[in-house]
């Protein structure tokens, strides 16, 4: 069985991949409330990372932790979409997949919060 999308190469593949990525971001923003909230928080936190970070390593950690939350949220939304595509019926494996995705989002949020709290503590209290 041949897949017409697998034979693309060069600039055509890059353009199409970028289009699919943009479509995914639009879908996440319009269809996932959590992702929309994270986009608005990122709009504030990414510029703030330039102000708060003391050196490029801290800025990268602060900004990267925010982007990591958004990446994990996108992956979690993908998992939920696939599970829902298979069936809306309750199933232990479906629950497991969704719970594991949710746990990944929670851990990324905790990591982000920890990095930001540590940077704030160092900046304002010298800790």
41-92 confidence digits (pLDDT tens): 999 999 999 999 999 999 999 999 999 999 999 999 999 999 999 999 999 9
Same domain (yes/no): 52, 71: yes
Same domain (yes/no): 3, 60: no
Same domain (yes/no): 17, 38: no
Task: Note the pLDDT of residue 126.
Answer: 86
Same domain (yes/no): 37, 27: no
**Cα–Cα distance for residue pair 50/55, rounded to 1 Å:** 9
Instruction: Respond yes or no: is residue 32 known to be catalytic.
Output: no
Task: Note the pLDDT of residue 7.
Answer: 74
Same domain (yes/no): 51, 84: yes
Our CA angle for 102, 105, 109, nearest 5°, is 140
Same domain (yes/no): 77, 111: yes
Task: Give me the CATH number covering residue 108.
Answer: 1.10.287.3610
**Cα–Cα distance for residue pair 46/63, rounded to 1 Å:** 5
Same domain (yes/no): 27, 53: no
Same domain (yes/no): 23, 39: no
Same domain (yes/no): 24, 43: no
Same domain (yes/no): 46, 94: yes
Catalytic residue (one of 4, 32, 38, 73) = 73
Q: What is the pTM of this model?
A: 0.89
**CA max distance for the chain:** 63
Residue 126 CA: distances (Å) to CA of 57, 60, 118, 119, 120? 17, 20, 10, 9, 9
pLDDT digits (tens, 9 = 90+) for 89-117: 999 999 999 999 999 999 999 999 999 99
Same domain (yes/no): 59, 108: yes
Surface-to-core class of residue 39, CB atoms within 10 Å of its CB (0-12 exposed, 13-18 middle, 19+ buried)? middle
- Domain range for residue 3? 1-31
pLDDT digits (tens, 9 = 90+) for 3-46: 666 777 889 999 999 999 999 999 999 999 999 999 999 999 99
């Amino acid at each position: 069985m041949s897949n017409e999308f697998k034979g693309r190469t060069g600039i055509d593949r890059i353009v199409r991949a970028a289009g699919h990525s943009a479509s995914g971001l639009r879908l996440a923003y319009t269809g996932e409330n959590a992702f929309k909230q994270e986009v608005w928080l990122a709009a504030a936190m990414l510029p703030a990372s330039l102000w708060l970070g003391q050196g490029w390593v801290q800025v990268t950690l602060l900004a990267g932790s925010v982007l990591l939350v958004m990446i994990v949220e996108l992956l979690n939304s993908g998992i939920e979409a696939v599970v829902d595509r298979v069936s809306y019926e309750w199933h232990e494996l479906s629950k497991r997949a969704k719970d594991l995705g949710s746990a990944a989002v929670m851990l990324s949020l905790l990591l982000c919060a920890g990095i930001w709290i540590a940077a704030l503590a160092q900046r304002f209290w010298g800790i």
